[in-house]
Structure formats: structure tokens, C-alpha cells
Structure 1
Amino acid sequence: MTTNRSISHNMTDNTRQDYQIWSKVPKITLFFWIIKILTTTVGETAADFLNGNLNLGLTNTTFVMSSLLLITLFFQFRSRKYVPRIYWLAVVLISIVGTLISDNLVDNLGVTLETTTIVFTVALLLTFAAWYVSEKTLSIHSIYTVRREAFYWLAILFTFALGTAAGDLTAEGLHLGYWEAALMFAALIGVITIAYYFFKMNAVLAFWSAYILTRPLGASLGDYLSQPRHEGGLGLGTIGTSAIFLITILSLVLYLTKTRRDEIPLRSSTKE
């Protein structure tokens, strides 16, 4: 993996070597947000499927998915640049794990949704604070070192866990239906988008605010599609909903892999 140390390391001979510094994360395009929302939906429905249909239980499901996530992150960190299939597999798995962490605290340990929302909010803010103190930036366009990438993935984990807790708290507190909740979260993302493009909202704040809100948006969509009709859903089930969204994610990732339209070359450098 390319690190700050390797970037600044001088070659011991007189040869020159041109190289490209690449971001480890994709360019923020419409494709990014579409896949992100799809992964949050899969995170909700896949966690329900593994926990309920396969009878693994929350604890065993958490262990299994966390192990798969760690294996995927190992390859993600070893990669020298953004690789769509590895990156988005990590996002899918971390969406499931983030959901399971929140569900374990609430269902197995009896922690209230209010408490988990506060805890994950504080954890996310502390992650951002440590990231900024260490790197002097929170920009996702500068993810090309191990340390920055570690902060990035830790922040993503807490956004999924926070989105799950806050989404469940909102749903239970406001007693909204699935479709109504999805519209509400979509509207909030729309407000952030308008604030960014027309009122000069800070780019980092806008990105992470929208990123957090995509979690309850995707969860609401997933519940609407998967839950029985008598409970306000379309009755597709967790298997059908997960399959539809996974196939869509796979198709988009294959397209991005072929076109490479979301890769970010940060700069070209020459070392001697």
C-alpha cells in the first residue's frame, strides 16, 4: 500500500520512476450515492435474513459478518488504489455489521435507542476529532495513507450504527410508516443538497450529514419492500429484496470497474 513514508522515500540509485498517487475511495458521483443507498438497504434486509431466516441469532450473525468484514478490509488496505469490487463489498459488509452492532445493544443488552443514538454520535464526533488532529483534514479526497483510511472506515462504521439507531428512534418516536419515513429522510438529504449547492454549506459537513441520512433512508426502503402487506410493506421478503438490491449493486460495480469513471488520480509524481 502507498503510505506517506513510501511516497517520500528516496530511491537509492540514480534511476527515475514516475508513479501515480491514487485515492483509496471513489469519486463522489451519482453512482456513489445510488450504490450507497442500495448497500444500506441490503444492510437492513440481509441482517434480518441472517438473523431470522437462518436462525443464526444476533450474536452469531455479528461474529460471522464481522469476520467477513475484517477479511475484506485486509484486501482493501493492501490495495494500492480504489478497486470497486473490494471497496463496495466492504461497504456492504460494514453496513450489515453497523446494523448488527446497534441491534445487539438494543435487543440483547437492553440499551435504549436514545442512549445508543447518543453513544454513536459521540463516537463519530470523537473519530472526526482524532482524524482532524492527526491529518489536519477530513476530506475524503485525500484518502491515500493507511492512517487516513483507518479513520475513514471507522467513521463509516459509526455512521451506519448511528443511522440505524437514529432511524429506529425516529420510526418508533414518530410512528411513521415505511414509505413516509423514506420520504422524510429523502427530503432531509434534499435540504442538505440545496444547502451545499446554493448556500455554500461546508463540503465535509454536507457529505457526512448526507452519508448518515442514507442509512435510515435505505432501511426504510428495505422495510417497505420486504415487510408483509398487512404491515405496510410490499411483501417481497428479505430474500427477494436482498437479491434485487445485490444484483443491482453488482451490475453498477461491474460497470464502474469497466469504465473506471469513478477513480481519482490524486497527482502524478516523480521520485529519483
Structure 2
Amino acid sequence: MQILGTVEELRQWSRAHRCDRANGAGMALVPTMGALHAGHASLIRAASEARPGRVAVSIFVNPTQFGPNEDFARYPRTFSADCALAEREGASVIFAPSVEEMYPAGAATVVDVEALSDRLDGASRPGHFRGVATVVAKLLIAAEPDLAFFGQKDAAQVAVLRRMVVDLRLDTKIVVCPIVREPDGLALSSRNVYLNAAERKQALVLSRAIDCVQKLVASGERRSVTLIEAARTVFAEQPAVRVDYIELVDWATLWPVLSATQGTLFAVAAWVGATRLIDNTVIG
């Protein structure tokens, strides 16, 4: 497995493999910030099944999507272990650029998906989705993949990136893979390593709230007010956890809806100690 550090190296590798008609056209990209876990592994496996031998995994802790008081400096960095996992799951190359490679001196261009970037996580983390959209646009332009793989856990991010790809007419399909959970239900996240033993138990309230809503929907309940109130009741059982948002939204627009329909997104975010976690379910 190769490790590439420059945009030009990635572009040359991609163009050589996208044109490999003997093995099928196209290549897949799995953008990550490293600290890879089983959720990332599922994305790489899915990419490898779709484009065997033509999968690039980017590992780049993107500074522009962190706010001034967020965890950029302490975000877990486990590069050697990440490379081993990516290779094991079918990655062909690792793209691991420096900050200077992704943001050359004097760079002044950003990508801002208006309206969507101010909803859900964007409301809590101003500028976050601008940083995400900018770095993912750079990665898609550099790699020119026909497929890019993301996890459903970052559902609001998915909505922003889908809109960006359509608006910029990028020739990439966003592929969304299901949330991967721990045996007790906690959604996998690189930030779970921040939780101490007590906080780890408290964090389960997020998945319990999601499970409660899923059961209500399965029983026929569709009203937003009822689903949200049920989730709030679950969160109230764990007063140490501070709720950020509990929302039922249209997944394309992230705009609140009055009732759940096929494809509607029910999403939650909360602070467990100093760690902000998210979870969701897609109705149907």
C-alpha cells in the first residue's frame, strides 16, 4: 500500500486507476480524519467491494472545521494503526497531506453551503460545515473519485456534502453507509476515547433515545412533537448529559418537519462531560 503526501501524487494515481478499463473504470475515496475504528473499516470495506484495488483513504485532521475552543490539538492521531487498518480492509493508497499541502500560503477560497451549514451541528459549531465542505471539495477535486464513502452517523455533514456535489456539479456520488455501534449500542466515534468510565455509561443515553424513537415509529407514531418529547424523557434519566439538540428534520434540507415520513432524519447531539457526541436514525 502506497502513502501519498501531495495532491499531484494523488491525482496521478487516481487518473491511472480510473482509466484501468481491464479492471473497470472509476475509483473510490474514503475521507477521514484518522483515529480509525470499526465504523471507518466498514466504509473502506464497502469502497473496496465497489472498486477493488482502486480505493484511496485520506487521513487529514482538518484544522478549518474546528472552532477556537474545540479539540483540534488533542484530536487522536494514530497514523501507523490507521494505515494498518486501512490496508487490512482493502485500501490501495493512503493520502496523508500536510496542512500546507491542503491550504497553501495565501489560499483564500472556501466552500460555504448556505443555509444547510447553519442547521443542526452547524448551529452549535459556527463555521464547522464551511471547513468540512472546503476540505472535502479539495479532496474530490484532487482525487476525482466516482464514489466517495461517508457514514450515516454524520448525517448533517452528508446533507451538506450532497448539496455541495450537486451545486458544484462534481462527478462524484456520495455513498452513505450505516452507523456501526458498540455491542451496548453506543455509536462508534473517534471522540469516544475522551470518555472516562462514568461518562462512557452516561453516553449510552444517546442510543437509548434513538432506540425509543425507533420503537415509537415502529408502533405507528409519526408526530414530531411526540417523538422529540419521548427522546427528551429518555435524556432526563441522565441529568449529567447536556442536550445540544433533538430534531426531526428533512434529511435533504435539515429543516424541521411536523411528522416523520420515509427518509426523515431523527437526530440528537449532547455533551457528555467535555465531549460532544451525535447519533441519529433515518425513518424507514
Greater strand percent: which structure?
Answer: 2
Higher relative contact order (CA 8 A, sep 6+): 1
TM-score (norm 1): 0.25
TM-score (norm 2): 0.24
Greater helix percent: which structure?
Answer: 1
